[in-house]
Amino acid sequence: MRRRLVIVFLIPLLGVLVLLGGGYAWSSAQSVQQTFFAENAGDLSYFVTSARQALSTGNSLVLESEVVRYEELYGARITVVDRTGIPWELNGRESRLDEETLAQVSLALSGRRGETPQAVLPWSAEEMTLVEPVFTDGDVIGAVVLTQSMAAPRGEIVRHWGWLAVIAVLGTGAGVLVVLRLARWVLRPVQRVDEAMAAIEHGDMDARIDDATGPPELQRMIVVFNNMAAEIERVLARQQEFTLNASHELRNPLNALLMRVEMLATGLPESWDEDIEATREEGRRLVRILDTLLSLSKSGHGDPTVRAVDVSELVAKRGEAWREVAARSGVRILVHGASGIVCATDAFVVESALDAILDNAVKFSPTGGLVELAAERTDESVCIVVRDHGPGVPAAELESMTDRFWRSSGTQNVPGSGLGLAIATDLLASIDGGLEIEEASGGGLRVILRVHREAAL
């Protein structure tokens, strides 16, 4: 944005400098040339007076001495032409006139005064020629030609333009400094807002912009941003507090309920064992949901606790922990894959996400089914792959599986809230990971928990 602001401010400034500087340069060139023409025209008028006497008497001695002095002082050439158009020889010099000058001489001998030369670019003409007729008693008796080099006015114009260029460069430099300061003044509040937003994105909910500088519109934007950040912090704090309180408060009555179920189970006949075990499993599932809520609340507050984690060992431990739970549903868990795969990540977040995936895999696997669990390393990431052999999901519904409260049309009769995969996705996102779901060959689903390779050791 700073570059665009500098361009927006600088282009008009340069345009104004070019217009004003160009106008002044042309005006100064015209002024220098007109002054030069006027001075030479005055000198020519002086020689016309002297030439009148010389042409009338036919004696050029007096005129010749003046011409010599003038030519020595100013480097000009003075040529006197009689009424026949023949140049006089002055100072032993035979004068030759070019065709353009002869045309002007003919015009002068006809009694018409020559026109003052027009101002031109200083390098477009090497010499200036002025022709003036000589009158006596109303008759033309000759003409005087003054030829002067344009080197003197050209040098003067170049000097003027040089100073103008220096002033333009200094003015442009000053303009650039002013534009940069102006752009910095305008963009400083935006930069502070950007820094505060980046801090909030990284979990620093206390980030605020202390002082407001810049245009009034941006100052109001900073006030609105601070109010918005405070409101977001308050809402997130209340959400986290609610999650923590709900998880904690629900755990105690749930544990008490499970204890009562165990007490009731001691006095019931064996025919109730299946129902009691189902009740126990539902209670344990609620405990896992509460643990997941706690982990989700933890992952949403501050940065993850990143350390070196042996992903292969983590997968093996979670597979062992779920093996007994899966066995109650007649499902086997098989852990395989490479060992020694180490990754810098948050072990608690990965475990919680993996538990949510395993819960789904066991829940939807048929009796006698198999859930395969493996840690893998690819060129781009470290992955944990959970492969079940359940009914699977239609390909059209795969993208919707991570939506909150989503349930497949074929599993509406299976207990569940539709939050497991959504929570796992959020957990992995907190550590720059991701969740991918794809159909597996032979039926079932293949769920990939991916940790980006940039964090791998």
Summarize the confidence of residues 249-268 as an average pLDDT.
76
CB atoms within 10 A of CB 24: 15
Digit-coded pLDDT (tens) for 125-167: 778 888 888 888 888 888 888 888 888 888 888 888 888 888 8
Question: What would the mean pLDDT of 237-260 be, rounded to a whole number?
Answer: 75
| Alpha-carbon gap, residue 361 to 446, rounded angstroms | 10
Between 347-363 and 420-429, two packed helices, what is the crossing angle to 10 degrees?
Answer: 160
| Per-residue DSSP letter, 399 | G
Give the tens place of pLDDT for each residue, 36-86.
888 888 888 888 888 888 888 877 777 888 888 888 888 888 888 888 888
Number of H helices, E strands in the chain: 9, 10
162-166, 182-186, 372-376: lowest mean pLDDT where? 182-186
Give the span between the Cα atoms of 221 and 201, in whole angstroms: 19
| Residue 114, pLDDT score | 65
d(Cα 313, Cα 351) in Å, to the nearest integer? 11
DSSP H or E stretch at residue 147: strand 139-149
The pair of structure tokens assigned to 367 is: 């009796």
The total of other beta-carbon atoms located within 10 Å of residue 153's CB is 22
The burial class, CB within 10 Å (0-12 / 13-18 / 19+), for 31 is middle
CB atoms within 10 A of CB 414: 11
Q: What are phi and psi of 355, to 5 degrees?
A: -60, -40
- What is the CB-side half-sphere exposure of residue 371 using CA atoms within 13 A? 32
pLDDT at 455 over 50: no
Rounded to whole angstroms, how far apart are CA atoms 147 and 40? 9
- Please report the pLDDT score of residue 120 as a whole number: 62
- Which token pair is 398? 């795969």
The listed range with the strongest mean pLDDT (70-79, 232-241, 285-294) is 70-79
Q: Residues of the chain with pLDDT > 70: what percent?
A: 85
Q: Which H helix or E strand runs over 445?
A: strand 445-452
What is d(CA 290, CA 257) in angstroms, rounded to the nearest whole number? 15
* List of residues 6+ apart from 53 with CB closer than 8 A: 62, 63
Cβ proximity of 21 and 27 under 8 Å? no
Residue 168 CB contacts under 8 Å (≥ 6 apart), including other chains: 17, 21
- First CA to last CA distance, the chain: 38
CA distance 419 to 264: 31
Q: What is the mean pLDDT of residues 163-188?
A: 82
Q: Are 372 and 334 in contact (CB under 8 A)?
A: yes
Q: Are 341 and 311 in contact (CB under 8 A)?
A: yes
In this prediction the pTM is: 0.44
Q: What is the pLDDT of residues 385-439, one digit of tens each?
A: 999 888 777 777 777 777 766 666 555 555 555 677 888 888 888 888 888 888 8
Q: Distance from CA of residue 29 to its chain's centroid?
A: 44
374-389: burial string, b at 16+ Cβ within 10 Å, e else: bbbbeeebbbbbbbbb
pLDDT band at residue 373, thresholds of 50, 70 and 90?
very high
302: pLDDT confidence band, cut at 50, 70 and 90?
A: very low
Pairing, β 342-345 against β 381-388: unpaired
185-189's contacts with Cβ under 8 Å and 24+ in sequence apart are 185/213, 185/214, 186/5, 186/214, 186/215, 186/218, 187/1, 187/2, 187/5, 187/214, 188/213, 188/214, 189/213, 189/214, 189/218, 189/219, 189/221, 189/222
C-alpha distance from residue 344 to each of 242, 310, 338 (Å): 31, 9, 17
